[in-house]
Amino acid sequence: MLFMAPASADTTDDAVISTLANQGIVITDRDTTIATAHQVCDSLDKHTKSAVLAVRLVRDTDLSLSQSSYFIGVAMSAYCPQYKGRTGSTQSPGA
């Protein structure tokens, strides 16, 4: 089930929700989804590998491994593009 976005929603947040929904990922709580996407970036800032994040998402959500990997890619594109292309890296973006 998808919830309607509030009128004051951020356009980046709207794009994330729309992109995920277009891939068949069911959004039951918009705020939690956006917070989780930001947590992906926070974890990458702490040098957590994207594969570890994908497994965590599978464990903690209803996402499949494929969906969780897609979710991470969407989060990186939207909120931390400095990590695009560094999915398996543990180096910081400036390294």
Q: Which whole-number Å values give the CA distances from 94 to 40, 53, 75, 83, in the listed order?
A: 18, 21, 19, 10
pLDDT of 88: 58
Q: Domain range for residue 73?
A: 27-83
> Is 88 domain-assigned?
no
> Is 14 domain-assigned?
no
The total domain count for the chain is 1
pLDDT in tens, 51-62: 999 999 999 999
pLDDT in tens, 26-65: 999 999 999 999 999 999 999 999 999 999 999 999 999 9
> Is 39 domain-assigned?
yes
pLDDT of 84: 86
The pLDDT confidence band at residue 9, using thresholds 50, 70 and 90, is low
